[in-house]
Structure 1
Amino acid sequence: MKKSIILSCVLAVALVGTLFSLPKVVVNNKGKDVDTERSQSAAAASATETAAEPSSKSHDGAALSPDQQKVVDQLRSGFNQAGDKDKVAAGIKLSDEFEKLQKFDSAAFYAEKVALLSPADENLMRAGDRYYEAYGFAVDEQKSKNLGAKTREYYQKAIDQNPGLLAAKANMAMTYVNTENPMQGIMMLREVIDADPTNELALFNLGILSMRSNQYSKAADRFRQILTNNPANTKAKFYLGVSLVELGDKEQASKVLSEVKKEEKDPAIQQAIGELEGRLGN
């Protein structure tokens, strides 16, 4: 499964009750462990400025261990001291490390610095992806708005350079859901489907949005479309199962969830399946 699709799946699970307002049963406990660092200013930081980096003191997630902090400090020092020739590579390493540690705001912060230093497609996409990830785990409303704006900024820059970046358009669409113009996001997803009728990311996002509006039949159709082309997509199969539960199709829901239970290793999904099976038994 492509990284952008995996990211969307993770966000879809983690954002239950916040962005997508899905049934409580599908909450991903990983959301409790991620950072909730300070919101970034809407203005772009300069490529060499470090004062605006999100503060580690504002993290809600687990603090870094001494060994983890040592690695971060070394990478940050390497980035700050790097010459122009090496600064992009150093920034990517630092951003990647923060992402690995689930410090998503800091990962986005340094990905943005890389994009400002070298605005190639891949660097703009990385900044957009990292801000989208941070946006997905933001709890504070204002922070969510700020990170959503940053996500759109960098995805739009990438699209301006390469209109064929459908993943950027599909992800950017989801940041419009809680704005004053949610239909803009729906239209963008439909544009992606028009260009690529089997685009998994756009189909998945449309399925999630259908669930958000309690249109479970439409949601089930979207997830079935994904599974027709990629039967191994367990996240799509899981949400198909959830949709079938909501539609009252107990027999099919039980069958689908049983398959997911065998195939999916994520403990949060396993816990959710247990709760859904409890509903089916009532």
Structure 2
Amino acid sequence: MSKGKIALVVTAVVLVVLMALLPKVIINKEKGAGEFAAAGATATPDASDHDPNHPGHEDHATEAAAPANANPANAHIVASPAQLKEIADMRAKFNREANSQAKAKLADELAQKYAAIAKHDSAGYFYEQVAQVKPGEQSFRKAADQYFEAFTFAATQERSAQLSQKAQSLYQQVLKNNPANLNAKTNLAMTYIAGPTPMQGITLLREVLAADPKNEKAIFNLGVLSMQSNQYERAVERFRELLAVNPNHVDGTFYLGVSLAETGKKQEAQKAFLKVKELSKEPEVLASVDSYLQRLNSAE
């Protein structure tokens, strides 16, 4: 959407919308069409190299405010002093514990505490510790999902690359245990698309649709990728396909409106934006839709 051909898309409104709607990955405008940003890192650090007491994780035990790039649902999460003290105490017990089973239990509890205050990278790390003691599809999935959540809100390309690689290695373990886990395959695809091998991710998304033609996440992400490569007619097809599966998909309806506007179908775009206003009451979304509608009306 940042490479749109019409003035609708080249405004500050886009920044507001991208904060409110998916996909929440960093887009590198300097790269080729449809290619997401990556820092170019090639090695995934071992868990043994990932010190739970490094400054980033230590900050998570002491700071009270939620990260600035958290999603809308997490934006108002503020850890209480009691929560922070509980986490600090549990971390101290975790560091002292020698028994692997007891340590895994503490790690699981810590992961839940961190996830509750939107510290997803730390939650991923501690779920990863559980998976090392109790490997399996579900334990790997919990760790991967938390790293993926952190990846989608990474503030820098370097951090995005680091977190995507952690998610990749864990989702690969999930799929080794269960190749039919389509959610894991879809998320894995998006980490590839954000890196130096985007076609590998697109291939995975197509595999997901081959197995489940109505998979909403796969259809949605392929639609957004079509927008990123300026294939707006194809994006319209994808989002119409998505809305045939789920007529109340807010993000899909919004991006359908943008894609229709890009292809010159103003009346259809207006209908899509008005539908978004029926589906969502989020102030940021409504403000963005109103701005799009104003621009469409002024272009008449």
What TM-score results when the alignment is normalised by the length of structure 2?
0.74
Aligned residues: 254
> Are the structure 2 counterparts of residues 160 and 251 from structure 1 closer, same or farther at C-alpha, using a change threshold of 3 Å?
same
Once residues 56 and 90 of structure 1 are traced to their aligned partners in structure 2, the CA distance between those partners, rounded to angstroms, is 16
Matches within 5 A, 1:110-259: 110-259=126-275
> Are the structure 2 counterparts of residues 112 and 86 from structure 1 closer, same or farther at C-alpha, using a change threshold of 3 Å?
same
Find the residue that maps to 1:12 and give its secondary structure: coil
- Rg larger for: 2
Once residues 255 and 75 of structure 1 are traced to their aligned partners in structure 2, the CA distance between those partners, rounded to angstroms, is 52
Q: Deviations over 1:181-200 (max 9, x none)?
A: 21111111111111111111
Q: Deviations over 1:63-104 (max 9, x none)?
A: 744234224224434544665444444323322322232222
For the Cα contact (< 8 Å) 1:48–1:80, is it kept in 2?
no
For the Cα contact (< 8 Å) 1:193–1:202, is it kept in 2?
yes
Once residues 223 and 75 of structure 1 are traced to their aligned partners in structure 2, the CA distance between those partners, rounded to angstroms, is 46
Once residues 238 and 79 of structure 1 are traced to their aligned partners in structure 2, the CA distance between those partners, rounded to angstroms, is 45
Matching of residue 12 in structure 1 with residue 12 in structure 2: no
Once residues 208 and 48 of structure 1 are traced to their aligned partners in structure 2, the CA distance between those partners, rounded to angstroms, is 33
Aligned residue in 1 for 2:53: 51
* Amino acid in the other structure paired with 1:235: D
> Are the structure 2 counterparts of residues 243 and 212 from structure 1 closer, same or farther at C-alpha, using a change threshold of 3 Å?
same
Once residues 260 and 150 of structure 1 are traced to their aligned partners in structure 2, the CA distance between those partners, rounded to angstroms, is 35
> Are the structure 2 counterparts of residues 101 and 14 from structure 1 closer, same or farther at C-alpha, using a change threshold of 3 Å?
same
Aligned residue in 1 for 2:91: 76
* Amino acid in the other structure paired with 2:53: A
Matches within 5 A, 1:83-122: 83-122=99-138
* Amino acid in the other structure paired with 2:67: G
Which stretch of the first structure deviates more once superposed, 81-90 or 162-171? Answer: 81-90
* Amino acid in the other structure paired with 1:170: T
Once residues 54 and 174 of structure 2 are traced to their aligned partners in structure 1, the CA distance between those partners, rounded to angstroms, is 24
Aligned residue in 2 for 1:61: 67
* Amino acid in the other structure paired with 1:275: S
Aligned Cα root-mean-square deviation (Å): 2.9
Once residues 247 and 240 of structure 1 are traced to their aligned partners in structure 2, the CA distance between those partners, rounded to angstroms, is 11
Which stretch of the first structure deviates more once superposed, 271-280 or 249-258? Answer: 271-280
Find the residue that maps to 2:155 and give its secondary structure: coil
Find the residue that maps to 2:193 and give its secondary structure: coil
Return 5+ residue gaps in structure 1 as ranges: 1-8, 22-38
Once residues 93 and 196 of structure 2 are traced to their aligned partners in structure 1, the CA distance between those partners, rounded to angstroms, is 42
Deviation at residue 167 of structure 1 after TM alignment: 0.9
* Amino acid in the other structure paired with 2:142: R
Once residues 136 and 183 of structure 1 are traced to their aligned partners in structure 2, the CA distance between those partners, rounded to angstroms, is 19
Return 5+ residue gaps in structure 2 as ranges: 1-18, 30-40, 69-77
What TM-score results when the alignment is normalised by the length of structure 1?
0.79
Q: Deviations over 1:158-209 (max 9, x none)?
A: 0011000111111111112243321111111111111111111111111111
Deviation at residue 217 of structure 1 after TM alignment: 1.6
Return the structure number with greater helix share.
Answer: 1
Identity rate of aligned residues, in percent?
37
